[in-house]
Homo-oligomer: A and B are copies of this chain.
Amino acid sequence: MTTPTLDVLAIGNAIVDIIGHCDDGFLTTHDCPKGHMRLVDQATISALYNDMGPSIEISGGSAANTAVGVAAFGGKAGFIGKIADDEFGRIFAHDIKSAGVSFAGKPQAGNVAPTSRSLILVTPDGERTMNTLLGISTELSDTELVPDMIASAKVLYLEGYLFDRPEAKAAFRKAMGIAKEAGREVALSLSDAFCVDRHRVEFKTLIAEGVDIIFANESEITSLYETKDFDRAAALAANDMKLAVLTRGSHGSVVLHAGKSISVPIDPVVKVVDTTGAGDLYAAGFLFGYTQGLGLAEAGRLASIAAAEIISHTGARPATSLKGLAATKGH
């Protein structure tokens, strides 16, 4: 087992977020399930864009946000995802590289799907509802993997959102095999309760095949184990994996390991502006602390600090150095 050169290597959708504001009625009228992500085609995203108000564009993508968050703490992060040779692809590549993340993606030219984008509608309560174009990033297959990068990272982090197409599922399995072969750990984010609902059996198979760490919120973990009882779902997750890291929104989070349960409080926020990226940045803070060898409670604290920073402004990329922010809070 060689010495790892990356802390976290993330694999996920390469997305540029288009963020605007709306009221709850707009979501209802446009069949957008509040608080969730739905995959849409070009016609649907165009119609929605036409109807929504002014927006701003910020690089996003769940696992990509996590990789940027790890780098913003001073950690070494890499990202594998697929972009097209277009304006949004250039924006995505620029933003992730300039944030200090190793990004191996080569823009795909020719008659290909466009770089993925997500129309994110933020309601007055700060909740985000996402409509993601089935662009080129959902076509990731095992040929896009970079085995050396995967083998070089302490933790391989897989984004559940990507787990919709057979090619991506095969890519996840291959990446997991490379990581295991190199003696690394594998983390999985469940991403979305609907996504879990669509692929429950296969997620469970993937977990059984070697996921060490799971990141999920309350609705995702209860969907996975088909129970309404969070404590029961948490216990089942803890039994299935080395580490279960479960977030509960404003109620904080809980980390389960070796028969123990650690409660992690939230880091208070004056005003929740936009929850986009809350889970992604929580994972970033936790994985940074974990890969630096900090205790689980301390990793959880960094996770809460990162999540609080991201929900206090628009967009899912940190607006400040998380290393500096954590330092001001005594970490």
Contact = CB atoms under 8 A, between A and B. Distances in A.
Contacts of A317: 54
A87 B90 CA distance: 12
Most-contacted residue by chain B among A50, A87, A317 (CB, 10 A): A87
Number of copies: 2
A118 interface: no
A99 interface: yes
Interface stretch (A56-64, A216-224, A299-307): A56-64
Contact of A58 (B57, B86, B88, B94): B57
- Give the interface centre of A86, A95, A317 by most chain B CB atoms within 10 Å: A95
Nearest to A57: B57
A53 interface: yes
A52 B99 CA distance: 10
B87 A53 contact: no
Determine chain A's interface SS by DSSP, over half rule.
mixed
A95 B58 contact: no
B94 A315 contact: no
B56 A58 contact: yes
B91 A53 contact: no
Contacts of A50: 94
A98 B56 CA distance: 12
Contacts of A5: none
Interface in A63-101: 68, 86-88, 91, 94-96, 98-99
Contacts of A55: 94-95, 98
Contacts of A96: 54
B99 A54 contact: yes
Nearest to A317: B54
- Most chain B CB within 10 A, of A56, A58, A86, A98, is at A56
A19 to B, nearest CB: 9
A55 B88 CA distance: 13
Contacts of A52: 98
A52 B91 CA distance: 12
A91 B98 CA distance: 23
A99 B57 contact: no
Nearest to A55: B95
B56 A315 contact: yes
Interface in A31-62: 49-50, 52-59
26 contacts: A49-B94, A50-B94, A52-B98, A53-B98, A53-B99, A54-B59, A54-B68, A54-B94, A54-B95, A54-B96, A54-B98, A54-B99, A54-B317, A55-B94, A55-B95, A55-B98, A56-B56, A56-B57, A56-B58, A56-B315, A57-B57, A57-B58, A57-B91, A86-B87, A87-B87, A87-B88
- Complex A-B, nearest 6 residue pairs according to Cβ-Cβ distance, in ascending order: A87-B87, A57-B57, A54-B95, A56-B58, A53-B98, A54-B99
Given A55-B94, A57-B58, 15 more contacts: A49-B94, A52-B98, A53-B99, A54-B68, A54-B94, A54-B95, A54-B96, A54-B98, A54-B99, A56-B56, A56-B57, A56-B58, A56-B315, A57-B91, A87-B88
